[in-house]
Structure 1
Amino acid sequence: MSLINVTNLTFAYDGSYDNIFENVNFQIDTDWKLGFTGRNGRGKTTFLNLLLGKYEYKGNISANVSFEYFPFHVVNKGENTLDVIDNIYPDYLHWKLMRELSLLEVSEDVLYRPFDSLSNGEQTKVLLATLFLKENRFLLIDEPTNHLDMNARKLVSDYLNAKSGFILVSHDRSFLDNCVDHILSINKSNIEVQKGDFSDWWENKKRQDNFELTENEKLRKDIKHLAESAKRTSTWSHEVEKTKNGTTNSGSKLDKGYVGHKAAKMMSRSKAIEHRQQSAIHEKSKLLKNIENSDSLKISQLAFHKNQLIELEKVSIVYGEKTVCSDISFTIEQGERIALSGKNGSGKTSIIKLICSEDIQYTGTFRKGSQLKISYVSQDTSHLQGNLTDFAAKYEIDESLFKAVLRKLDFSRIQFEKDISAYSGGQKKKVLIAKSLCDNVHLHIWDEPLNFIDVISRMQIEELLLEYSPTILFVEHDRGFYNSIATKVIEL
């Protein structure tokens, strides 16, 4: 066991006026299994890079341990998988590699295939197995779940649960709950460490937020009341002081000593009230610094002239000589929230592309309502570039509404000035989702919309879909989201 101490950590990128971290202090144990959470753009990957020594910073990070970052950069994906592993870590023992691959249910034959011929899930598992061959390292595991199907996520989560000594960045609640014993959270104003899994942390956060909101309202009322009392008492003090040179109703002179004493007493009371008011203002200033902006989202979907929008009957999709899925039959009717489920490579994205009118070779019967308007969120965000104003104009959506949705998804106004290509993976995905929410359509189709999206934004999107019940076909491997949203499941 050893400790990692972070003391007065302050960091900003060159040319930026805003600190990503400012006087951050915390301590973690290298035996812990840490889940790392925080909203998109808060600096999770940046902090991992600081641990790796990639940037200069103010403050101190002390650790008697070497760090290892995942995912590894694979230079030549055309090489055999075994050669890829050799390039990453040439000193491994083969029997240990086979042990790790067995735990992840990866067959030995993948080692002798080109790395780029493996599915996304297989590539992730191979690289994770390689990571855990490196002993006496503290592991920094950055979003391993993206593009893993639900079964693979459960398998990887169980695998990590049997390990220790890592920081795991993930936004999948079920995944985190199954394999971490502490949470490291980047909040709006600090970084803190808490014992327990994600659900424990979330319940504690909700309790703390509710306490602060209640306390804030109480102090707000106290401050208003004290301000009125201080003003009233001060006015009385001045009025009494002015009577010192007057007379009583009977014509005799007033006792100036008594009047002065009474005025001083009122002034003292006024000062005491003002002091209490300032104390209350100071206490109030300590609150709400970590309350997240998670205003509810809205979606306005067009009504279609028929109840049935889409029908597939015994549809098979073919690429060249390869059949990716066969005999698929289902309908999409208004108000349904349909989850398209199945392992990676089972044809989910191909079905979506067929529905979205892409040139897909198929057999069977496919019917789509005439004049049906569809909004599509793809897995890929690599094409995004330019500013948000031009993006809104290109897709003919209301710019003000578009930016308002992004604000609710935790975009700061300074983000609006940046090129979209400079956004984090989660922020890029939010651009696509915000655009989709602004589209005037009959049907929304989202292909793995939550990849890279932070937990709180996932909950906002979940609440939106439950409240407005739009017609939607989606592929998503976040088990909590999937179970909560789907009214019908199509298993491929």
Structure 2
Amino acid sequence: MSLINVSNLTFAYDGSYDNVFEDVNFQIDTEWKLGFTGRNGRGKTTFLNLLLGKYDYRGTISAKVTFDYFPFYVENKAQNTIDVISDIVPDYLHWELMRELNMLKVSDDVLYRPFDSLSNGEQTKVLLAALFLKENSFLLIDEPTNHLDMNARKLVGKYLSGKSGFILVSHDRAFLDQCVDHILSINKTDIEIQKGNFSEWWENKKRQDHYELAENEKLKGDIKRLSEAAKRTNNWSHEVEKTKNGTRNSGSKVDKGYVGHKAAKMMKRSKSIEQRQHNAIEETSKLLKNIETSESLKIAQLAYHKKQLVELEHVSITYGEKKVCEDLSFTIEQGDRIALAGKNGSGKSSIIKLICGEDIGYTGTFRRGSQLQISYVSQDTSHLQGNLTDYARNNGIDESLFKAILRKLDFSRVQFEKDISAYSGGQKKKVLIAKSLSEQAHLHVWDEPLNFIDVISRIQIEELLLEYQPTLLFVEHDSEFCKHIATQVVEL
């Protein structure tokens, strides 16, 4: 066991006035299985890059371990997989590699195939196996679940649960619960570490937030009451002081010593009340700093003139000689929230393309309602570039509504001035979702919408869908999201 000590860490990107981290202090045990969470753009990947020594910073990061980062950059994807592994871990032992691949249910024949011929899931598993061949390293694992189907996520989660000595960035709640024993969270004003899995951390956070909100309301009431009391006491003190120069109602002479003593006593009481008021204000300033604002979103879906929007009867889709899905039948009716489920390569994206109107060869019966307006969110964000104003105009959506949704999804106003291509992966996905929520549509079709998106935003989107109940067809491998949202699951 050794420790990674972070002391007074302060970092800002060149040309930026805002610090990503400011005077951050914490300690990590290198035996921990550490889940790393926080809203998009808070600096999770930046912190991993600081550990890797990629940027200059103020403060200290001291560690007696080396750091290795996942996913590895593969320069030549055309070479055989076994050569890719040799480039990453030159001195690996073959039996150890086979042990790791066996745990990940990867057959050894992939080693002698070109790396770029492997599916995304196979590539992820191979690179994870290579990562855990490295000895005496603390491993930095950045979002391994993207492009993994639900079964593969469970398998990789089980694999990681048997390992230790890593930081895992993931927004999949069930996946984190399966394989971590501590949570490192980037909050609005600090970084904290807590023992336990994600669900335990989330429950503790909700309790703390609830306590702070209640305490804040109580203190605000105290401040108002003390302020009024201080004002009254002050007024009484001044009135008593005035009587020193006057006479009593009976005409007898005023005892100035007595009156002065009484005024001084009241003034002292006033000062005491003011101090208590000041202390209450101080206490409120310590609260609410890390409460995440997650305002509710809205969706105004168009009503369709028929109950049934889409129907597939015994549909099969073939690419060349490969049949990607066969004999599929289901209907989409207004109010349905249908999850398309199945392994990677089972034809989920092909079905979505067919429904969205792409020219895909199929057999069977496919009917789509006339003049059906569909809003589509794709997996791919690589095409996003330019500023948000131009993006809204080019896509024919209301700019004010579009930006208001992004604000609710935790975009700062500074983000509005940046080029979209400079956004984090999660922020780019939020742009696509905000666009979809701004569009006039009868049916929303979302293909893996939550890749890279932080947990709090996922919960916001869940609450939106449960409140407004739009008609939705989606592919998503986050099991918690599917459990909460789907009214029907179509298994491919």
The residue that corresponds to 2:110 in the other structure is 110
Identity of paired residues, percent? 81
The residue that corresponds to 2:153 in the other structure is 153
Superposed CA offset, 1:161-211 (max 9, x none): 000000000000000000000000000010000000000000100110000
Q: Secondary structure in 1 aligned to 2:315?
A: strand
Distance 2:134 2:464 in 1: 43
The residue that corresponds to 2:342 in the other structure is 342
Superposed CA offset, 1:292-321 (max 9, x none): 011111111111001000011111112222
Superposed CA offset, 1:60-112 (max 9, x none): 11111111000000111111111111111111111111110000000011111
The residue that corresponds to 2:246 in the other structure is 246
The residue that corresponds to 1:436 in the other structure is 436
Give unpaired runs (5+ residues) of structure 2.
none
The residue that corresponds to 2:91 in the other structure is 91
Superposed CA offset, 1:418-460 (max 9, x none): 1111110000000111111111100000000000000111111
Distance 1:227 1:255 in 2: 31
Could you tell me which amino acid in structure 1 is paired with residue 206 of structure 2? K
The residue that corresponds to 2:128 in the other structure is 128
- 1:252 CA displacement: 2.2
The residue that corresponds to 1:355 in the other structure is 355
Q: Secondary structure in 1 aligned to 2:193?
A: strand
- When normalised by structure 1's length, the TM-score is 0.99
Distance 1:26 1:272 in 2: 38
Q: Structure 2 matches for 1:148-297, cutoff 5 A?
A: 148-297=148-297
Distance 1:387 1:320 in 2: 40
Alignment length (residue pairs): 492
- When normalised by structure 2's length, the TM-score is 0.99
Distance 1:382 1:293 in 2: 29
Q: Secondary structure in 2 aligned to 1:473?
A: strand
Could you tell me which amino acid in structure 2 is paired with residue 190 of structure 1? D
Q: Is 1:28 the equivalent of 2:31?
A: no
- 1:147 CA displacement: 0.6
Distance 1:79 1:328 in 2: 37
Could you tell me which amino acid in structure 1 is paired with residue 117 of structure 2? S
The residue that corresponds to 2:446 in the other structure is 446
- 1:253 CA displacement: 2.0
The residue that corresponds to 1:393 in the other structure is 393
Q: Name the Cα RMSD after superposition.
A: 0.8
Q: Is 1:327 the equivalent of 2:327?
A: yes
Could you tell me which amino acid in structure 1 is paired with residue 110 of structure 2? V
The residue that corresponds to 2:316 in the other structure is 316
Distance 2:112 2:466 in 1: 46
Could you tell me which amino acid in structure 1 is paired with residue 153 of structure 2? R
Superposed CA offset, 1:232-277 (max 9, x none): 1111111211221111112222111111111111111111000000
Structure 1 ranges of 4+ moved more than 4 A = none
Q: Is 1:403 the equivalent of 2:415?
A: no
Distance 2:328 2:401 in 1: 38
Distance 1:331 1:79 in 2: 44
- 1:402 CA displacement: 1.1
